[in-house]
Structure 1
Amino acid sequence: MPRLEEHVDISAPSDAVWEHLHKVEEYPQFVDGVREARRESSARVHMDVDTRGRAKGIDCSTEDIGSQETMAWKTTSTPHLSGSFSVTPLDAEHTRVKARVEYDPAEALDAFGGPKGFAQSNAIERTVREDLHHFKEMVEREHR
């Protein structure tokens, strides 16, 4: 499965960044294609995602690893996606967030459409990078 890793540095304390990662109801504000998101239990999240102009429900399991360090996630059905968000304090007021995403290219194409092959990888990488930057902007706006 292809794996992609991206990171962004955020001007906010790590505990504030960690808290925002767990506010799944905020995901539509920074994750492209997410119409609605809600936590269904401490380890389950449901998201309604825009796929080819239609809403598709996607359920994910989540797990915190370490104290405010890593949140691992994976979908519980197709498309099979998994990954993590790692939070690393750079100093008292700056934090690095690293996103890791693993995906099956054929399932991603079936579920979301878009280009094939190398162009698909580039599109997914660009989307993850843009989502991270939207997350950075949202967190920094609230912590000025």
Structure 2
Amino acid sequence: MGRIEESVEVAAPLDEVYRHWVRCEDFPQFMRADGSESVTTEVVEGERVAWAGATGPVNHSGVVTFHQVDAGTTRLMLQLEIEPHGLWEHLAEALGFVDRRVIDDLNDFKHHVEARATPMAG
């Protein structure tokens, strides 16, 4: 089983970043679908969301936590445990493709949120 840990800073307040993360219907706008479905296993409002993969080509589970950097910046930290099945999935993991995809998806999420962020009152 592989473990991936990545983070990204989003130029938006924590509550807004959290709200976008939990709106799962928006995920296809910024994350590539891989045929996996997940079940939420834990929610701590505004702080943490955990899940486990229910179906798909790769067993996975993960947790994302939200950390306020300042009034207008949030650090999103992702920990993902994956267990690939089959030759292609193992090869993709070994070559770092899964890490790269996670980084790309987090950056896409960052841009998705920042494009819709409510401007901070000055």
Q: Does 1:142 align with 2:116?
A: yes
Identity of aligned residues (%): 29
Q: Structure 1 runs of 4+ off > 6 angstroms? A: none
Write out aligned runs for 1:5-44 (5 A): 5-32=5-32, 34=33
Seen in structure 2, the aligned counterparts of structure 1 residues 76 and 125 have a Cα distance that, compared at 3 Å, is same
Question: Distance in 2 between the 1:73 and 1:15 partners?
Answer: 20
Number of residue pairs matched by the alignment: 116
Q: Does 1:124 align with 2:115?
A: no
Q: Does 1:133 align with 2:107?
A: yes
Deviations 1:17-64 (A, max 9, x none): 0000011111111112x2xxxxxxxxxxxxxx3xxxxxx4x3311134
Match of 1:69 in 2: 47
Paired amino acid for 1:5 = E
| CA deviation after TM superposition for structure 1 residue 66, in Å | 2.8
8 Å contact from structure 2 (residues 51, 63) kept in 1: yes
Deviations 1:76-122 (A, max 9, x none): 245311001111111111000011111113x2x46xx4671621xx1
8 Å contact from structure 2 (residues 41, 52) kept in 1: no
| CA deviation after TM superposition for structure 1 residue 12, in Å | 0.1
Report the 3-state secondary structure (helix = DSSP H, G, I; strand = E; otherwise coil) of the residue aligned with 2:15: helix
Q: Does 1:103 align with 2:82?
A: yes
Question: Distance in 2 between the 1:102 and 1:67 partners?
Answer: 22
Two-structure CA RMSD over aligned residues (Å): 1.9
* Gapped regions of structure 1 (runs ≥ 5): 35-48, 50-55
Paired amino acid for 1:118 = A
Match of 1:59 in 2: 37
